[in-house]
Structure 1
Amino acid sequence: MDSKLYVVSALCFLPTMAVADSFNFNEKHLADTSRVYDIDEVIVASRPKDIQRLRRQAVSSTSLSASTLNSFAARDLRDVSSRVPSFVMPAYGSRYTSSVYVRGIGARVNSPAVGMYVDDIPLVSKSAFNTHIYDISRIDLLRGPQGTLYGQNAEGGLVRIYTKSPLQYQGTDVQMSIGNHFWRMAQLSHYGKAEGLGAYSLSAFYNGQNGFQRNQATGKRADNGNEAGARLKLIRQQTARTLISLTADYQWVRQNGFAYGDYDVATGRAQDPSTNLPNNYRRHLLSVGLNVNYKGRNADINSTTSYQYLNDNMQMDQDYTAQDFMQLHQRQLMNAVTQEFAIKNHDDNRWRRVTGAFFSYQWLRTYGPVGFGESMTGPMGNAIAGTIYTSIYSSTYNGILNKMIKDGMPEEVAKAKAKTAADKAVKRENFSMGIGIDVPGTFRTPQLNAALFHESSLQLSNRLRATLGLRYDLSRTSIHYDTRAIMTANAKIMGKEAVNTLTSHLDSRTHNTFNQLLPKLALTYDLGKVSQSNGGNIGNLYASVSKGYRAGGYNIQMFSDILQTELMANRMKAMKGSYDIPHSADDYSKVNNTIAYKPEESWNYEVGAHLNLFNEAAHLDLSAYYMQIKNQQLSVMAGTYGFGRMMVNAGRSRSFGGEITLRGSSFNNALAWALAYGYTNATFRNYNDGENDYRGNRVPFAPEHTLSANADYTILPQQSFMKSVVIGAGTTAQGEIYWDEANSYKQKFYALLNAHAKFGFKHFTVNLWAKNLTNTRYCTFAMDSSASRTKRYFGQKGAPITFGADFNFSF
């Protein structure tokens, strides 16, 4: 690789960060005020499937550099929300929840709507999306279906995260950060080269916080946590044509989460949580990837192999109240392998192409027992005892009454005497029922995915280029469930005591196989240069049609609801003795159909432009899209009792909208500014859940508007020990967000004001930052639940004003 070109690739401009500050431009660079650089403009590092740089592709995209992420103190993808048009990853309060919404599609559980790659390694588990990000070179966010090259679950778009390469960057970086609510972070990274071994990097981090909410029932902190991790990267030029890189990344998390408090539908505000049981999450996450690139005479051959491991443990007070109704305890153990081969021809301006194959297999075992507390079982026992009392009392009363009438007593006199005798013989206090319910369950859900893909980019004329792609994708999802509900009834009836057990045991296997063809067709028209004498490029226009899909699968959280329904239907049988509910083949068939959900499919029609304005002093990216969605996957509360969430296919929906990004610099590159806006109108076209028709309603959880505006001003002191000062401010905003398919309550549009001041010295920088300066009150999530036997509303409060300082040292 040409190291000079790689240095140039680092001199790229991004929103919210002035070029002069970000990369220490010298006076010669500052004299050129007519150019704003794209982050991917002259990237030399070849990516396995990139045949054009992003702003030359027919895709709506945004790239964020490390400097941009550092400027607004981004620690994970949740901090990117609203800064990228139509992209939201809400801060739901724990690393377990990794929901991403793009252009009106997304989900809280099961299959994600967005694909995610880290250093060209696909993350197969949605539970691994929400991680601490560090040592970042850049992040690419592509909107719209990317299924042709990236397959299932890239229906809404794609996130590509790239970490720093020790081939191009050497030295040691240290970052220490501190903030309010005792937020603290420490990161250490070293990049170097070893004779005969190649390049290497070793990084580690620690991150912790006390949080800003307390559990009102226990007085303990509700959202505190700690996490740590390390990454090792080795890169070796094995031969003149072969480059090998190995990456191992481990992260550990332990935190309190799921801080859902009472939510006021009228005001849209949530309280601090109040639960009697703990809500916490622990996770071990490991990803190991091996990338081998062979540069042949006519093509590059790339092989990417990965192993991924996830071991987590979640405890949730599932009624979200201070009463003891129910608790979910879920443990996941995942092992996964992926393998991808890609062959890409060398730069041929007439016909650029990439062909490849992909395979992945995921072993996933979930242990998910649900516990029912006294607040749930107590009323249940009282109701059963009351039913038995009523039955025996009625039988006793009628027996006495009939005998008295038969003996010739007048009916009215007999009724009074029979009631007196029955009241004396059958007393309500002599009837009690203690109920205990346990619902253990183990679920094995292996998944296989295999695909073949090809994409060609053909130069049809001097300015017109066509892109054609096709992917054949095969997926097989299986489930082996072994779960049961055990209800123990301790009956004390009129001096007699009996302990009976009612059991429902479900143990079965089933699977589904899905096939998909994912085509793509796009046209890109190059607008040429401003003039023959001026080399500035105007940009391009594009139009595209592409198909995307999300994998189908099985709901496991709804089994407690299924089993609870069976227990209630057979509860009286346990009064006669222990009883094991039988299940026929037809019963299992119904269960398998109930827990399954189909793949979601969509067609995306898009037009857009990537324009360079004012002799490339500003960049304007525009897009407008229309998306048709079939079998939309929607996360709803499970079944009869609402114990947990499940995925359902919500008929058809459509989504249309537009995105705009404008960025540039002024005043001799001292002022850098950026504006990003996305509009999404996602509506159900055909969805009826059997009780309600939601046609015309907005799709929940996806914001209608996303907006960000930022400006940074750079000062370069003359003859000073301080190299630069950057002062910046900006706003991020989003809304409206409906919280249910009935559109009965929502989060209104809200905006957050942020600011930072960065001081650069020779070997270190200090960045002072603040978020939500106006202390705006909002909710990142809200829901309703009937787990406590009555419908109640709960919400997750958004973060209040936060501020802190980052201290960065480079050697």
Structure 2
Amino acid sequence: MATSGYIVLPLYSFSGNINENHSIPDNMAKTYVSLSDSSRIFNLDEVVVVSQPKESTYLRQQPLASSIFTSSETGKLAVRNICDLSSFVPSFQMPSYGSRLTSSMYIRGIGSRVNNPAVGIYSDGMPLLSKSAYNFHIYQIDRIDVLRGPQSTLYGMNTEGGLVRVYSKNPFTNKGTDLHIGVGNHFYRNMEIANYSKLSHNTAMSVAAFYNGQNGFFRNSTTGKRADAYNEAGGKIRIVNQYSNKLTYDFIADYQYVNQNAFPYGMLDLSTNKTASPSTNRESGYRRNMLNSAFNIRYTLPGITLNSTTSYQFLSDRMNMDQDYTALDFMHLSQKQLQNGVTQEFAAKGKLKNWKHTSGLYGSFQWLRTDAPVFFDQDFTNAMGQTIQSAMYNAMVGAMSQKFMNIPGMTEDGAKAMAAQAIERAGGVSVNSLSMSVPGLFHTPQFNLGVFHESSFDLTNRLSMTIGLRYDYNHVKIGYSTSALMNTTVNVMGMEASSRLRSILSHETCNSFNQVLPKLAFTWKLSDNGSNIYALVNKGYRSGGFNIQMFSDILQSELRANSNEAMRSDYDIPHTNEDYAKINSTISYKPEFSWNYEIGTHLNLFNNTVQADFSAYYMKIRNQQLSVMAGTYGFGRMMVNAGRSHSCGLEASLRGNAFSNNLSWSLTYSYTRSVFDRYSEDVNGTTVDYADNYVPFIPQHTLSAAADWTFALSDGCIKSIVVGANTTMQGKIYWDEANTFSQKVYALLGAHADINLKRLTISLWGKNITDTHYNSFAFSSNATGKKMYLAERGMPLQMGVDLKVHF
């Protein structure tokens, strides 16, 4: 959707959006084009121009599929994070998975719940290193771009599915103070304040802060408390110095804090697809402190622009999870992460008559420490104690009955009965106490280096060719220090005995990965109004690494296999170099890579009143990384390489203006078919083949539609009234590799009404106003010893009012 009143500016000359509250530099005033007397629309990246260190061409003129959202559009759609935005982008899925920690994104069937992301995020020029930082509060932004398909040539690893770029408002092109206050049902509350000012003729600064919170919708039926309440707050500062016509400095720092009740999973009834209220005896929660800062330098020479981006990223968080998801006291997890990361990127782009080119060098280092102890609680230890007691009792009965069999005429059953009586008369066998603990400390540093080049040549007046190549090197390392300890006190025929069974794992290992990432594309310009068609082939990949979530499963398997040793005396399970080699092989996973074949078109239709974008793609994925429950016990998720799969689909986006810009509308649709070509696993000694099954968590269909009507008022204090509605639809979504349970197609309806005064805007909004019941996530678990199905309900009806003041 386009917004009336915008002007068109050259790509290189301006950064920011223009409206009546914002100034235009005098030397640019002559470049504007009035839109007030027309329903024509323009590319949004022509309207809201931002600094692009790598591209010299508008997005819709590049051979790729993309979506662009201005701050005006995100406001109308009540977008406060990328999860909200994803519903309005074809093939894009970023559902709520219980907390800000688990911020998974899927584009075109590529994505995962844990470890390396398949979709990257650049925030104000800096690549976010940690997937735990992806789900952040979006405010005071100029524009958001979503690029679909591999972006690995220019942006490197972990952009195999696509890329999201977020741009903050520029203090040079905004002025004054913005104040936003909002309130909604279940005591949703939001407040933002931002000030944009010039410190001198060549320096401008912005400062902004926000608070956001909600009391939650889902109540824990065991504790009686809300399972999804949250509070978050933060602030950011940006300073831009245009030292000269050639040199610009840009510094930005964004701090955010969130504290939320998390993982509101309830029992799922497969027959009705209804999800019960959460019911855990322990509260689950997530708390995060995060700072992302970047320093950008741009230097312009004749025919070439040099860019440098240096970033420092800090993240400290803590997750508490009731890992059996029930009112039973089986086990819980407390995980803390501490991350420090730095990135440095140099890029040089140039433009000659028939040649556009970009070259660059990228490097990053991420230091990450994870403290993840697993606690086994009373119901678990009682169950294990009963298992040990039964095993000891049966062993003693068997041994004694063999002696009684020597009595003449004694039967086997009689001998066992006599042995059981003797044991009972002597005091029996019982486990008086049992305790278990699994502490774990993990260091997982990563280093990444990339060298890239991309050129675009105008072969004729209509035909252009784009070629690109990147070399990417990634080094991953893990140092782990973890153990499992089981202390047991038993009574054996009147005598008390204690034993200790312990397994200690302490080791380091590393892996390195190299990838060459090519790109070849052709673009045919259909007309002078910007319409074009393109064909593209390129390669994407995401790095391999190590699982840390499955160590508790490995250790518990070792304790179980050596439990007989603990019946005799204290025992420390030994580990050889061969044992560590097997463990390292178990916890590691390989890089995933894919080839993407794509055709598409960008059309400006009906005298530029409608923009239409269509794309069709086929992706071959190898060594597909898939998130599955860990091993024997299923105490956490781990990444495995699921063989081969392919993903193919169609994407369509339309938007336009009509009736002298009183009506603005948009429509998107995508179809995604992502299936396994080769993947099998061993389940209880039986090989299960998942070939031709759908890859889980990927919606097969997505659809969105939005329309806004503006009533312009010439008299009185009210300048205009805008009413709008939107709907989103997605499904079917399978939740497991076997495709045994799923979420059917569902649709959500939203609406808003805005009253625009000179300095004040009053907005009424609603989301899911039909109160549709759906699940945003579901999974199965064997944590209690029997299979359970659990799900997280999607958000029900939400409504509220926002006040926006500019002065």
Kept in 2: contact 1:538–1:613 (CA 8 A):
no
| CA separation of 1:8 and 1:446: change in aligned 2, threshold 3 A | closer
Deviations for 1:300-355, whole angstroms, at most 9, x for unmatched residues? 1111000000000000011101001111111000000000000111x324000010
- Corresponding residue of 2:567: 575
| CA separation of 1:417 and 1:302: change in aligned 2, threshold 3 A | closer
Kept in 2: contact 1:338–1:361 (CA 8 A):
yes
Kept in 2: contact 1:313–1:330 (CA 8 A):
yes
Q: Distance in 1 between matches of 2:183 and 2:457?
A: 52
Of 367, 374, 379, the match for 1:375:
379
| CA separation of 1:457 and 1:500: change in aligned 2, threshold 3 A | same
Of 415, 418, 421, the match for 1:423:
421
- Corresponding residue of 2:27: none
Of 657, 661, 672, the match for 1:680:
672
Q: Distance in 2 between matches of 1:446 and 1:538?
A: 46
Of 219-228 and 424-433, more deviation after overlay is shown by 424-433
Kept in 2: contact 1:618–1:665 (CA 8 A):
yes
Query: Which amino acid is 2:709 matched to?
Result: Y
Query: Which amino acid is 2:453 matched to?
Result: H
Kept in 2: contact 1:389–1:428 (CA 8 A):
no
5+ residue gaps, structure 1: 13-25, 530-536
| CA separation of 1:334 and 1:9: change in aligned 2, threshold 3 A | closer
- Corresponding residue of 1:16: none
Q: Distance in 2 between matches of 1:452 and 1:420?
A: 79
| CA separation of 1:427 and 1:653: change in aligned 2, threshold 3 A | farther
Q: Distance in 2 between matches of 1:601 and 1:512?
A: 17
Verify: 1:667 aligned to 2:672, yes or no: no
- Corresponding residue of 2:25: none
| CA separation of 1:484 and 1:670: change in aligned 2, threshold 3 A | same
Of 202-211 and 431-440, more deviation after overlay is shown by 431-440
Query: Which amino acid is 2:389 matched to?
Result: A
Matches within 5 A, 1:374-773: 374-402=378-406, 404-405=407-408, 410-411=409-410, 419-420=417-418, 422-426=420-424, 430-433=428-431, 434-529=433-528, 537=529, 539-690=531-682, 691-773=687-769
Of 377-386 and 222-231, more deviation after overlay is shown by 377-386
- Corresponding residue of 1:227: 232
| CA separation of 1:425 and 1:119: change in aligned 2, threshold 3 A | closer
Q: Distance in 1 between matches of 2:751 and 2:704?
A: 13
- Corresponding residue of 2:309: 304
Deviation, 1:425, is 4.3
Kept in 2: contact 1:442–1:481 (CA 8 A):
yes
Of 10, 21, 31, the match for 2:17:
10
Matches within 5 A, 1:244-283: 244-283=249-288
Deviation, 1:762, is 0.2
Verify: 1:51 aligned to 2:56, yes or no: yes
- Corresponding residue of 1:121: 126
- Corresponding residue of 1:533: none
- Corresponding residue of 1:361: 365
Q: Report the secondary structure of 2:383's partner residue.
A: helix
Q: Distance in 2 between matches of 1:752 and 1:521?
A: 39
Deviation, 1:428, is 9.4
Deviation, 1:498, is 1.7
Q: Distance in 2 between matches of 1:482 and 1:28?
A: 65
Q: Distance in 1 between matches of 2:502 and 2:630?
A: 21
| CA separation of 1:174 and 1:304: change in aligned 2, threshold 3 A | same
- Corresponding residue of 2:223: 218
Deviation, 1:731, is 0.5
Q: Distance in 2 between matches of 1:28 and 1:792?
A: 61
Deviations for 1:606-646, whole angstroms, at most 9, x for unmatched residues? 00000000010100000000000001100000011111000
Q: Report the secondary structure of 1:714's partner residue.
A: strand
Q: Report sequence identity in percent.
A: 50
Query: Which amino acid is 2:569 matched to?
Result: G
Matches within 5 A, 1:117-196: 117-195=122-200
Query: Which amino acid is 2:805 matched to?
Result: F
Of 297-306 and 310-319, more deviation after overlay is shown by 297-306
- Corresponding residue of 1:341: 346
Deviation, 1:92, is 2.0
Deviation, 1:759, is 0.7
5+ residue gaps, structure 2: 1-6, 20-31
Q: Report the secondary structure of 1:391's partner residue.
A: helix
Q: Distance in 2 between matches of 1:330 and 1:429?
A: 43
Q: Report the secondary structure of 1:640's partner residue.
A: coil
Deviation, 1:230, is 0.4
| CA separation of 1:672 and 1:432: change in aligned 2, threshold 3 A | same
Q: Distance in 1 between matches of 2:98 and 2:534?
A: 39
Deviation, 1:415, is 7.2
Q: Distance in 2 between matches of 1:385 and 1:123?
A: 51
**What's the Cα RMSD here?**
1.9
Q: Distance in 2 between matches of 1:669 and 1:251?
A: 38
Deviation, 1:3, is 11
Q: Distance in 2 between matches of 1:766 and 1:173?
A: 14
| CA separation of 1:9 and 1:481: change in aligned 2, threshold 3 A | closer
Q: Distance in 2 between matches of 1:173 and 1:59?
A: 35
Q: Report the secondary structure of 1:388's partner residue.
A: helix
Query: Taking structure 1 as the reference length, what is the TM-score of the superposition?
Result: 0.94
Deviations for 1:334-381, whole angstroms, at most 9, x for unmatched residues? 000000000111x32400001000000000000000011122111211
Deviation, 1:197, is 7.0
| CA separation of 1:134 and 1:9: change in aligned 2, threshold 3 A | closer
More contact order relative to length (CA 8 Å, sep ≥ 6):
1
Query: Which amino acid is 1:769 matched to?
Result: W
Deviations for 1:522-574, whole angstroms, at most 9, x for unmatched residues? 00000123xxxxxxx15000000010001100000000000000000001111
Query: Which amino acid is 1:279 matched to?
Result: S
- Corresponding residue of 2:67: 62
| CA separation of 1:134 and 1:424: change in aligned 2, threshold 3 A | same
Q: Distance in 2 between matches of 1:28 and 1:51?
A: 25
Of 781, 784, 787, the match for 2:780:
784
- Corresponding residue of 1:31: 37
Q: Distance in 2 between matches of 1:477 and 1:428?
A: 58
Deviation, 1:389, is 1.5
Q: Distance in 1 between matches of 2:757 and 2:33?
A: 17
Deviations for 1:59-85, whole angstroms, at most 9, x for unmatched residues? 000000101100011110110122100
Kept in 1: contact 2:256–2:291 (CA 8 A):
yes
Deviation, 1:427, is 5.2
| CA separation of 1:150 and 1:481: change in aligned 2, threshold 3 A | same
Deviations for 1:628-677, whole angstroms, at most 9, x for unmatched residues? 00011000000111110000000000000010001111111111111001
- Corresponding residue of 1:534: none
Verify: 1:240 aligned to 2:245, yes or no: yes
Of 85-94 and 755-764, more deviation after overlay is shown by 85-94
Deviation, 1:416, is 5.0
Kept in 1: contact 2:16–2:173 (CA 8 A):
no
Deviation, 1:391, is 2.0
Q: Distance in 2 between matches of 1:148 and 1:179?
A: 44
